[in-house]
Structure 1
Amino acid sequence: MKKPTAKITALLVAAIIGAGAWYVTKQRPLVVNVAVVESNIPIKVFGLGTVEARVLSKIGFRLSNSIIQLNVDEGQQVRKGDVLARLDSTEHQARLAKSKAGILSANATVKGTAAAILKAKAVLAKKTQTNRRQQELYIKRTISAEMAESAKLEQDIAQTDLNISRSNLLAAKATLANSRAQLKLEEVVLGQHTLRAPYDAVIVARHMELGTVVKAGEPVFTLVDPKSVWVLGHISESRSGLIALGHPVEIRLRSRPHELFKGEVQRIDIESDRVTEERRVFFSCHGCLDKFNLGEQAEVYVTTAILEKALFVPENAVDDFDERKMVGTVWILMNDTLQRQSVTFGHRTLDARLSIISGLSKNVKVLTRLPKLLKQGRSARIAQENNP
């Protein structure tokens, strides 16, 4: 009699354990965490970038010659018009002196031809008066026709000499003007032997040393306008759609990881990188101008919106999430029962949370964690609500 009783007892114990396990896994309400509405949540977009300069110039001479003077080096600040370097200008100084001498010669020629005109006018006046008298005498038959014709010929010759003198004066003035133009040209060429700063700048690099023979157009210095320093950020196309000019940005430089600089969106390129599928966005950086290093790595955080009221769910609590369409399926608690619900998302935070903008009815709670033994239709209760 003892043996059947032991078997029955064992069966009853197994049945009780099985019923308990069935209840725990199938019928007992799950304890779940749900999302609550949060306030004033900033939506930020992250990107990597580098410190760049909008105005960067590689400057050099327009002539070929040897460098005889270098006044600045890397890291120095210069003002607009400061002399940075000079070329050997001995040959062009000689040409300039020759041009000045040419002007003196041309000016003397002008004065000489002007004096010749005065003389030619006096001769013409005298010949004209003589011809008039001779013609009067010829009319009275006092002199011969040959003498009258000779007087007329001398007057014509005097007139021709005056015309020649006037032409010579025009030619002399043209020569003087050409000499002056040549002098200006030589002065311009001589000025090109001096390299000046085109604007207030910082010398980034010096490419040549004293005595180097440079070619025309070959860079001697690289300089930047320090006021034009900004940060170039590379933002994923999937995250860049809401970025607009003027949006605030926070920038962290690799050399100063404990500092966060403020700035704004200054420019958004209209062409994306076809390989990386990123957009180039440029930001101002207040405070970065003091000690900037071109090419330094930077992290950028662009605030694209601030949501006054929003319901967020972690991305890992979303099934079938389509990043391109911003849709997915969440688990909801409705009437103490678990259900699946398709929703549409609006924004994504840097900590991988998604804001739900449509697809939910009233009095519905969204699960923020997906516990084990999750099943549609199973009863559940809220453990605690997340504080905003």
Structure 2
Amino acid sequence: MDQIVNLPKTESTSDIETALGLDHLGLKKKRHRGWLYGLLVLVVIAASLAGYQWYAASPARIDYTTAPAAVADLTVEVSATGTLQPLTQVDISSELSGVVRSVAVNENQQVKKGDVLAALDTAKLEVQIERAEASAKAAAANVETATVTLTENERGLVRAAALTRRGMATDQSLEAATATRDRSKAALDSAKASLAIANADLKAQQTDFAKSTIYAPIDGIVLT
């Protein structure tokens, strides 16, 4: 015959801790552990803030650029308000009369000595130079012709003198040859003088042509 037996009720661990009063101790341990974690977090935050403040308060790093020592010119700049008066003022003008063909500079522009400032129209000057060159060439040709003529007449005078000594020519022939030689010599001198005049005229025309371009006489600034 089967028997039914009622087994004693098994109590849980929590019930046992409650009965023994140990549940209060566990709660204290948990609370104590939570305070420790919180305190540790506060310490970490405080340390971070202190480190940031120290870094922010520290002076910024300054980089220096170094170079070898050397002797150089010192430039001093002065700023002021007023009217500048030039130490040297040169009025620019042309020795020639004519039409201005071009102006190469502007007002207040800085220029160097020898820079082109302006130029005159040179059409007439170019024609005059061509004429002077032609005259000089013609004068040079006349000199050559007169030289050849004088040489021939000198030879004729020598022949006439020889014939006269031999009695084969009269004294009048010798005198005529001498006069011819003298005239050719005078013609050569005249041709040389004409050549010198032509060359001088050509040089004058070339000088005027050079003056048609106006250059800066000094370093400076164009005022007007």
Residue in 1 aligned with 2:204? 185
1:110 alignment partner, one of 143, 151, 168: 143
Match of 2:123 in 1: 90
Q: Does 1:121 pair with 2:134? A: no
- CA distances 1:196-252 after superposition (whole Å, capped 9, x unpaired): 1011121111xxxxxxxxxxxxxxxxxxxxxxxxxxxxxxxxxxxxxxxxxxxxxxx
**2: distance between equivalents of 1:63 and 1:122?**
51
Partners of 2:97 and 2:139 lie apart in 1 by 31
RMSD: 1.5
Residue in 2 aligned with 1:160?
Answer: 179
- Which of 199, 203, 210 matches 2:218? 199
Name the residue aligned to 1:75: 108
After superposition, the C-alpha distances for 1:298-337 in whole angstroms (9 at most, x for unaligned) are xxxxxxxxxxxxxxxxxxxxxxxxxxxxxxxxxxxxxxxx
**1: CA distance, partners of 2:137 / 2:90:** 42
By how many angstroms is 1:83 displaced? 1.2
- Alpha-carbon distance in structure 1 between the residues aligned to 2:156 and 2:117: 62
Give deviations 1:257-284, integer Å, cap 9, x for gaps: xxxxxxxxxxxxxxxxxxxxxxxxxxxx
CA distance in 1, matches of 2:146, 2:109: 57
Point out the structure with max Rg over C-alpha: 2
Aligned residue runs from structure 1 range 121-270, under 5 A:
121-134=154-167, 151-205=170-224
Aligned-residue offset at 1:195? 0.8
1:50 CA displacement: 4.7
Matches within 5 A, 1:323-362: none
DSSP 3-state at the match of 1:204: coil
Which residue does 1:274 correspond to in 2? none
- The count of aligned residue pairs is 143
Deviations 1:154-185 (A, max 9, x none): 11111111111111111111111111111111
1:110-167 per-residue CA deviation (whole Å, 9 max, x = no partner) reads: 00000001100111111111111117xxxxxxxxxxxx6xx21111111111111111
Q: Specify the code of the residue in structure 2 equivalent to 1:163.
A: D
| Residues in 1 aligned to 2:138 and 2:223: alpha-carbon distance in whole angstroms | 49
Amino acid at match of 1:155: L
The residue number in structure 2 matching 1:225 is none
Shift of 1:64: 2.0
As a proportion of its length, which structure holds more strand? 1
Percent identical residues: 29
Cα shift at 1:51 = 2.6
Deviation of 1:61 (Å): 1.4
Supply the distance in 2 between the matched residues of 1:131 and 1:64 (Cα, whole angstroms).
Answer: 65
- What TM-score does the superposition give when structure 1 sets the normalisation length? 0.36
CA distance in 2, matches of 1:184, 1:69: 25
CA distance in 2, matches of 1:77, 1:90: 30
Q: Distance in 2 between matches of 1:157 and 1:62?
A: 54
Report the residue type matching 1:182 in the other structure: D
Cα shift at 1:189: 1.3
> Unaligned regions of 5+ residues in structure 2, if any?
1-81
**Alignment partners' CA distance in 2, 1:84 and 1:115:** 50
Q: SS in structure 2 opposite 1:120?
A: helix
Structure 2 letter corresponding to 1:194: T
In the alignment, structure 1 residue 53 sits paired with structure 2 residue 72: no
Higher helix share: 2
